[in-house]
Amino acid sequence: MIVSESDSDLVRRAQAEDLDAFCLLAERYARRIYLLASHYCRNSQDAEDLSQEVWLKAYQALPSFRFESSFYTWLRRITINAFLNHRRSSFFRRHGQTTAVQLVPIDSEAPETFHPYSPENIYNKLLFENVVSALAELTPSQRLSFLLRHYEGMSYDEIASAMNCSTGTVKKGVSRAIGKLRARLSPEPEEPETLEFSNAQL
């Protein structure tokens, strides 16, 4: 019977320069960090680079971890700082933004049943591209506030503390982000088809 070690044990081992322990921690949380990065960056290559940079920074800062919060909370703080720093250093590619994520349902146990061109997957792909392009229209701070609130479930106070701004600013940013997304993603009301004829034709 394999008993998975707790985060605290793994962190202690990693602090004693056990690279395997840190890699186990990375395997636990890499997907969450990557998904956050992929929604923030809009580009899979940037997301990969940024999420790996987060892990490198975490490894570098690991000796300063004092177990005052959970490991993931501490890691998320590093992630937010990395996102903000990359925003400042104009890290993201402005040209040729692509979304090259292969879509696989999480609950698909048997890969052979996955059909990439099934209607559901085509719908998912279109939905993904639509949402990513909608997120791309937000400002970086609005996008980050929205992702942290909506995906990570952080409170406004936590976000404000992490982003070093006021709670009101975060609230306003999230509200505007949702408003923009709604305007972009909500189906447009169908206009009644009308035939226009000019007077000359009549």
Partner 1 sequence: MHNCNDTRERFTELVLDGDPRAEKLLDQCEECRAEFESLAATLRMTARLRETVTPTEAYWTGYHAQLRSKLEQFHAKAQRLRHAKAQREELKPGLGFVFASLRKPLRLCVKTFLLPVPVPLSVAVLAIVLLFFAVRAPQQPTPLPQAPVIVQVPVEVPVVQEKVVTEVVYRDRWRIAKPSRRLVSGRTTESTLARSQKPQPEDMLSGFKPTDEVKLTVIKGGSPNEK
Give me the residues that bind partner 1 (CB under 8 A), please. Answer: 17, 19, 22-23, 26-27, 30-31, 34-35, 39, 48, 52, 55-56, 59-60, 101-106, 124, 127-128, 131, 135, 149-151, 171, 174-175, 178, 181-182, 185-186
C-alpha span between 142 and 179 (Å, rounded): 11
* CB of 41 or CB of 181, closer to partner 1: 181
* CB of 38 or CB of 80, closer to partner 1: 38
By the 10 Å C-beta count (0-12 exposed, 13-18 middle, 19+ buried), 75 is classed as buried
Shortest distance, CB of residue 201 to partner 1, whole angstroms?
40
Shortest distance, CB of residue 30 to partner 1, whole angstroms?
7
* CB of 160 or CB of 174, closer to partner 1: 174
* Structural tokens at position 7: 């985060």
Shortest distance, CB of residue 67 to partner 1, whole angstroms?
22
Q: Is 51 helix (H, G, I), strand (E, B) or coil?
A: helix
**Which residues, at least 6 apart from 55, have a Cβ–Cβ distance to it below 8 Å?**
26, 30, 33
**Tokens 């993931």 belong to residue:** 72
